[in-house]
Structure 1
């Protein structure tokens, strides 16, 4: 039985979510909280398997509450809200930075055209998130010391990054450190709920010196630009060094798929690529990263201590796909060192 705590200041919303979740076999709402203090008090007494939380609470921000829970008794937190404005998207991604693992629109009441589909999505998300083991988020992580990877010189590179659960704050850490003159295109697949991609780009762009695009078809891959796969399309590359979007079947139940991107990069760029697989549940990207390594690419996975969910990186490690296992800041430093090395050897 999956035990759920609902943190929501609206009594009507509490009742709606309770009705949806208690109506699903295998899920039980074990409590509700109207504010942050109640939520923290509840978690300290009875640890739920999953928490659904509104982005705004009357006595504290959701960010403060998520931070305290993740620093003391970590539980998968899903941000569920009725409406999403640009400011609320930013708050949702800040909550992910604090440790929240998912976001979605709150289902409307019965009779609404979206009720059934969003209720089903909420149930599935709770079931999926209940299976992950989240890690304690220390205020300042003090773990193993890592050196940045020494990546050998090769001209005309491309970087391919795949991420899922917990990915947005890690992308922020890596991409925000890259200098404005970074000389290679970067392609990204981030598993994210439909409709949240614009918010992700708007959240990342002010902190990033490189231009971020939601990829379109046949777009030239320019140095120092970032191309993120759009909702419901696989992202690949062509021999003409352009983006390629596809509606081919989902892989691992997902479109866009990290594996699709990595296979395409391996085929076109071979040893001139750098593949990076970040936090996420499941196996997407592991086999693709292995193919990239077999084709001579440099391959990096995020380490366990900093991964919100170690599923995807761990699968890649088990397949022998990872040359380097690094925390996000060292991944960024490795890319910067590689840039400097390449420029010196030209």
Structure 2
């Protein structure tokens, strides 16, 4: 049985969320908190398996509550939001940076056409996040790392056979990044450390709750010198610009460097899909591209990254130590798609070296 603490300043919403979660026989709501301070107190007292917490609450919001919970009583935290406005999204993503695992939309009312799907997504997310082993949050002066451990058996994985990551004759013209659970905060930190004059565009597929992609772009833009925007069909990519795949579209690139958006079916259950992006980059750019697969659950990205490696591109997976969930990088390593397994710090160094000096 997965024990859950629900935190929301609306009594009606608290009861509604508790009712929805209690309908699943594998879930049990053991506490209901009216704000962030109450959530912190009940988390210390009840030791729940998962906390489902609102973003904006009086006395202490979801960000500050997350920060203190991860310092005092580390617990998997799922942020829920009824709004994807810029302000709401920014607070939600700051909570992810503080240690929350993911953000999902609040289930809609019973008469809403998306109610069943939003409930299914919340229940599934709570179950998946309950499996993540969190640890006490790192000191606030350190940005790298995840505050979480999902320990895989790295010794049992095939060892990559990397080429040297030193600058050479290989000119890098494009960077493609795929990520899921835990990736937003790491992507934010990586982009913050890249120079404004970066000599290649960056394309990103991030698995995220519907309605939050625009807010994610705004949040990333606040912390980097690079330009950040949602990708638009047919636009020419430019060096020093980050393009986020919009929700509901498979995102690729043409040989002329133009964004290609299509309504194709989901790959590995996702649209946009990291594998679709990597495959497109392999076909259009081959050895002049870098593919980076970040933390996340599942298999998305592995097949596409393998195609990119076969085409001569540089392929990188985030290392297990810094991953929230090692699933996606681990699967890519198992399939022989990964040439280099690097920490976020090393990924920054590789990009800076290969793009501007390769």
Q: TM-score, normalised by structure 1?
A: 0.90
Write the mapping of 1:107-256 to structure 2, written as runs, cut at 5 A.
107-139=107-139, 140=141, 149-256=165-272
CA contact (8 A) 1:162 1:188 kept: yes
The alignment partner of 1:241 has SS state of: coil
Q: Are 1:327 and 2:343 matched, yes or no?
A: yes
CA–CA separation in structure 1 for the residues paired with 2:188 and 2:284: 27
Q: 1:63 to 1:255 in 2, by over 3 A?
A: same
- Structure 1 residue 28, shift from structure 2 partner: 1.4
Q: 1:253 to 1:67 in 2, by over 3 A?
A: same
CA–CA separation in structure 2 for the residues paired with 1:96 and 1:90: 10
Partner residue of 2:330? 314
- Structure 1 residue 318, shift from structure 2 partner: 2.4
CA RMSD of aligned residues (A): 2.2
Q: Are 1:281 and 2:294 matched, yes or no?
A: no
CA contact (8 A) 1:2 1:130 kept: yes
Deviations 1:211-267 (A, max 9, x none): 222112222122222211110111111122211112222111111110111111112
Partner residue of 2:11? 11
CA–CA separation in structure 2 for the residues paired with 1:287 and 1:155: 24
CA contact (8 A) 1:153 1:338 kept: no
Deviations 1:57-84 (A, max 9, x none): 3332322221222234432211113334
- Structure 1 residue 20, shift from structure 2 partner: 0.9
- Structure 1 residue 119, shift from structure 2 partner: 2.2
Q: 1:248 to 1:134 in 2, by over 3 A?
A: farther
Deviations 1:324-343 (A, max 9, x none): 2222232112211223423x
**Which deviates the most, 206-215 or 246-255?**
206-215
Unpaired segments of 5 or more residues in structure 2? 146-163
CA contact (8 A) 1:16 1:109 kept: no
